[in-house]
Amino acid sequence: KQEVTQIPAALSVPEGENLVLNCSFTDSAIYNLQWFRQDPGKGLTSLLLIQSSQREQTSGRLNASLDKSSGRSTLYIAASQPGDSATYLCAVDRGAGSYQLTFGKGTKLSVIP
Amino acid sequence: GAVVSQHPSRVICKSGTSVKIECRSLDFQATTMFWYRQFPKKSLMLMATSNEGSKATYEQGVEKDKFLINHASLTLSTLTVTSAHPEDSSFYICSATQGTGYTFGSGTRLTVV
């Protein structure tokens, strides 16, 4: 059974700092991995999706890497801003594009002005 | 981009009553919809997968008679929590796909008192 773990559970950084969020998964046979952002009481916003054949994806200040063999992914946020404060979720697709996702518990990020 | 509307965003109901949550794809036809729930400080967990016109597939441990899912059209899926109890209080969120990616709704916070 796939398990997804995110470390740390919470992180507080001053504005402008670069930071890294970590995600690990137990079964390396994944179809893709996706990072989401969840604001309090809101739905999920997709940030980056990495296919199993890819090593990284970038969007603006965000960079996500994937090391499938070791079961790890990182989300790098450059020059953090208070608006980045949210919970960041990592999820893996079970396989063959099933779109059935297994989520981690998330990392709650607070960026202090 | 693809938009999924979920209603209501918040609902409080009395123990023993039933609650219906709607998930609509506004600008695309969703061949498959998914229902997740998230208990406090826990991961989002897949409850069931529903395909238009057929019975939903439930994850292990999810009671199909308690969580009724109807996916009668390509743009609407409903989740009915029957005879709700306080332990059903959770955040419920749907996602929809037309086969090329998925979009999440904004979620429903259910509180059973």
CA distance A94 to A60: 27
Amino acid A97: pLDDT: 63
Percent of chain A scoring above 90 in pLDDT: 76
pLDDT band at A96 (very low <50, low <70, confident <90, very high): low
Question: What residues are paired with A51 via a beta bridge?
Answer: A32
Inspect the interface and report whether the beta carbons of A43 and B107 lie closer than 8 Å.
yes
pLDDT band with cut points at 50, 70 and 90 for residue A9? very high
Kind of pairing between the strands at B10-13 and B108-112: parallel
Tally Cβ neighbours within 10 Å of residue B71. Answer: 25
Closest residue by Cα to residue B94 from B76, B113, B112: B76
Query: CB B104 to CB A44 under 8 A?
Result: yes
B/e letters for B3-15, b = 16+ CB within 10 Å, e = fewer, are ebebeeeebebee
Mean pLDDT calculated for residue range A76-92: 97
Please give the pLDDT value at position A99: 76
Q: Which residue has the tokens 């999706």?
A: A49
pLDDT at B75: 92
Which one of A66-70, A96-100, B54-58, B98-102 scores highest in mean pLDDT?
Answer: A66-70
- For residues A15-31, average pLDDT: 95
pLDDT means per 10 residues in chain B (113 residues)? 90 97 92 91 91 89 94 92 96 86 90 96
Regarding predicted confidence, which is higher, B54 or A61? A61
B20 and chain A in contact, CB less than 8 A: no
For range A97-107, the mean pLDDT = 87
Q: Each residue of B91-103: b (16+ CB within 10 Å) or e?
A: bbbbbbbeeeebb
Q: Which residues contact B12 (CB under 8 A, 6 or more apart)?
A: B111, B112, B113
CA–CA min distance B18, chain A (Å): 22
**Average pLDDT of every residue of chain A:** 93
B-proximal residues of A, 8-27, CB under 8 Å: none
